[in-house]
Chains A and B, each alone.
Chain A
Amino acid sequence: MNLAIFLLALFDGVAYAALVFIVALGLTLIFGVMRILNVAHGSLYAIGAYTTVSLTGWILALGFAPVLAFPLMIVSAILVGIVIGGPLEYFLLRRIYDKSEVLQLLVTFAVFMILEDVQRLVWGTQPYFDSSALQVLGNISVFGVTYTIYQLILLPLIAVVLLLGMRFFLRHTLTGKLITATTEDREAAQSIGVDADKVFLFTFIIGAVLAGLGGALASPTTSILPGMGADMIVLSFAVVATAGLGQIEGAALTALMIGLGRSFAVYLYPEFSVLVPYLIMVVVLLVRPEGLFGSPAARKI
């Protein structure tokens, strides 16, 4: 393995990890607060990507500058959060918080099935591709390796900003503290006047926006096909479980581990590239059953 290939694998891994982290961040936030593992998260990711491509294509067809693709990503992510995420929590998930984990998982799986067909109905089965955002930013050369600025600088930058922003938000703002308080002890929070319903709704929308944003940011780098949501959800599950459910900083590190592992496998042992995330997950969970950063729950007798 020479330097060029090493750098390529490194850059691929970092870019990929950034995307996975953004999606996993939403998933782990929702799980941390609401104790629901949202299978439909993958659909929100895919819909975010589809929406971005459609909006960008429409704006470009109207003759606007391709630079507008960037604000459109944010618009798509927020649309996904408010149009799909909000009603999903308000009308559906709110009714199942007292049900067992299995049923909660299945409800989100049912939503996943429904949303998969919605995607097929709205966007069809043909692949979409629109890399205008990638081309706007151009390329950069690092030690003779040419790579897109979008993937090498912008994506990791956004991931780091989101990580720090989320930390700051949860620890230093009033809304964030309310969320943390509700997570710690829902009843105690309610008894001092926190509107837990509102906190849950808000959290779920934020999580859904993050899923949509992940899809929006991924859209210029890959072709958008039916089934991309299913792939992403399994992978972000792996990241979240390896990190320890609800662990935000852990998710960042794990995403990086899994992203790098996967991209180096692509160059060294291509057959194993799909395997690596799950192998990492199995090995970590065998040694640390609660995940890398999770703490064992107290036993109730």
Chain B
Amino acid sequence: MSMSTNKSKSAATTPEPGKGHFVMKSPLSLLWVVGIVAVMAVPIAAPSLKLLFTFAMAKGLGVLGVTVLLRAGQVSFGHALYFGIAAYAGAFLMAAMPSTDFLIVLVAGVIGATLAGLFVGLFVVRYRGIFFGMLNLAFSMIFWSILEKFYHYTGGADGIRLERPTVFGSAMNHTDFGLVLYYMLVALMIGLGWYTIRWFNSPVGQLFQTIKTNETRLEYLGISPKRALLSGYLLSAALCGVGGVMMGMAQGVVTPEYVWWVRSAEMVFIAVLGGAGSVQGAFLGALIYEAVRTYASVYAGDVWQMILGGFLLVIILFAPGGLIGILQSLFKRSNDKTGGGT
């Protein structure tokens, strides 16, 4: 697990399915276990941080979707679309059928995001590079302007409320529901993170990543790169959808801001900050991002964007592997025998 970023570079050219699983001996894997335990302890040990972690995990799931696409060398500047569609799907469902179970809201959101991903994906998988990014942007902006302008249905810029759903049939108060969401997010983070790592190592995932290294060879093998890209695109849309609907339930209100292009760019930003292509990096990046955003906006007022922008520049120029890359090199230095991945 710890070597996933290193592996990905060689994995795409020499597929070694099954080699990227949990390596408990490496100290970095141990760190992840400690990290997850720490995250689970947050609501008890430091309740004031609970909301920060909730938002970070929800956003991290969206970032995971962007990370998937980065593995194919594609960057989408419109993935907030799926984040937003899922949240709105959840909100509309709650408005139509009050006291729906939160699992149903989650599933509805993911279905909404995946269907939208299929519709948009069928178009955009024909494009690569900047055009891929810009077409995604265009679709997200279309949805954004629909949300803004058709306020009879969408509430316009104020958005709509996402009423608190029931949990397995019982209505919950605010605090308890927050806890349910929190541990649900932890479970989703572990489950979907694990699934995504497995998916990268699966045959479909390997084909998908070959789009980055050598797309023409895929065609020579008789495989449709479009179909390979579409499979990853659907996964990324679904992951963004999970993040979006969880975020909507955590915030209790859904606004067009969810879909605004700066949010999409932010997700790409977090993915690169954490370590482009790394599953753990997506969540680590989201946590750092939310923390900087929260504390910088309290202590540094108007300049939090500037701080984050500077942070991003430093990462890209001096630590292109992102936070995960920094962590890995630290561990490699202290424990050199685990560095056999390359």
Give the B-binding residues of A (Cβ under 8 A). Answer: 37, 39, 92, 95-96, 99-103, 105-107, 109-114, 116-118, 120-121, 230, 234, 237-238, 241, 245, 270-272, 274-275, 278-279, 281-282, 285-286, 289-290, 299-301
Contacts and interface: CB of A to CB of B under 8 A. Distances in A.
A271 B149 contact: yes
B269 A278 contact: no
A285 B127 contact: yes
A112 B145 CA distance: 22
B310 A114 contact: yes
A39 B133 CA distance: 13
B306 A106 contact: no
Nearest to A31: B130
Given A106-B269, A110-B310, A241-B131, A282 B75 contact: no
Contacts of A241: 130-131, 134
Nearest to B272: A106
B217 to A, nearest CB: 9
B26 to A, nearest CB: 28
A282 B135 contact: yes
B148 A102 contact: no
Contacts of B316: 96, 99, 103, 106-107, 110
A5 B74 CA distance: 44
A113 B272 contact: no
A301 B216 contact: yes
Contacts of A101: 75, 129-130
B232 to A, nearest CB: 16
14 contacts: A96-B317, A102-B268, A105-B75, A110-B309, A113-B308, A117-B306, A121-B302, A237-B134, A245-B130, A274-B148, A278-B145, A281-B134, A282-B135, A289-B127
A237 B268 contact: no
Contacts of A282: 123, 135, 138-139, 142
B106 to A, nearest CB: 30
Contacts of A113: 305-306, 308-309, 312
Contacts of A290: 131
Contacts of B262: 230
Contacts of A96: 316-317
B265 interface: yes
B178 interface: no
B145 A107 contact: no
A229 to B, nearest CB: 11
B146 interface: yes
B303 A117 contact: yes
A285 B142 CA distance: 15
B28 interface: no
Nearest to B260: A230
Nearest to B314: A110
A92 B216 contact: no
Contacts of B138: 238, 278, 281-282, 285
Contacts of B148: 274
A286 B135 CA distance: 9
B102 interface: no
A245, A285, A300 — most chain B CB neighbours (10 Å): A285
| A contact patch SS | helix
Contacts of B303: 117, 121
Nearest to B276: A102
B308 to A, nearest CB: 6
Interface string B275-305: 0100000000000000000000000001111
B152 to A, nearest CB: 10
A102 B306 contact: no
Given A110-B309, A110-B310, A282-B135, 15 more contacts: A100-B73, A101-B129, A102-B75, A105-B77, A106-B269, A109-B309, A113-B306, A114-B305, A117-B302, A117-B309, A121-B302, A121-B303, A279-B142, A281-B134, A289-B127
Contacts of B306: 113-114, 117-118
Contacts of B145: 274-275, 278
Nearest to B311: A110
A275 B145 CA distance: 6
A95, A100, A114, A289 — most chain B CB neighbours (10 Å): A114
A96 B312 CA distance: 14
Contacts of A92: 313
A118 B310 CA distance: 12
B298 to A, nearest CB: 15
A25 to B, nearest CB: 18
B141 interface: yes
A95 B320 CA distance: 13
Interface string B146-172: 101110000000000000000000000
A271 B150 CA distance: 7
Contact of B135 (A95, A121, A279, A285): A285
Contacts of B123: 282, 286
A239 to B, nearest CB: 11
B141 A110 contact: no
Contacts of B139: 278, 282
A93 to B, nearest CB: 11
B21 interface: no
